[in-house]
Structure 1
């Protein structure tokens, strides 16, 4: 009778450990998803800033190229 009870107890402990590990994985996945979302927003903002900064430079470059062609 001892061995079957020990097997059931060990199985329960094993399932409990797996449950705790699954909860930790869930927490880490949520944190990673939040970080990915924040990084995506930062990249979007940086791309917009870069586009805004590049627009005047592109216009100036086009004007300079047009001026050089006329000469």
Structure 2
């Protein structure tokens, strides 16, 4: 009778450990997703800053194109 009870106790402890690990993984996933969201927001702000910084250069360039169109429209 000792071995079946021992196996049952080990099974319970194993399930409890897996439950604790699942909770810890969930917490880390939430933290990671928050960090990814913050990083995406920073990248978005940096892209907006770059666009604002490049706007005067675009106006000063006088509409020069660097081969954006078809070859017959390039000057």
Match of 2:30 in 1: 30
Which ranges of structure 2 fall in alignment gaps of 5 or more residues?
65-75
Once the two structures are TM-superposed, the CA of residue 42 in structure 1 deviates from its matched residue by 0.5
Which ranges of structure 1 fall in alignment gaps of 5 or more residues?
66-71
- Superposed structure 1 runs of 4+ greater than 6 Å apart: none
Match of 2:54 in 1: 54
Count how many residue pairs are aligned between Structure 1 and Structure 2: 64
**TM-score normalized with structure 2 length:** 0.81
Once the two structures are TM-superposed, the CA of residue 62 in structure 1 deviates from its matched residue by 2.2
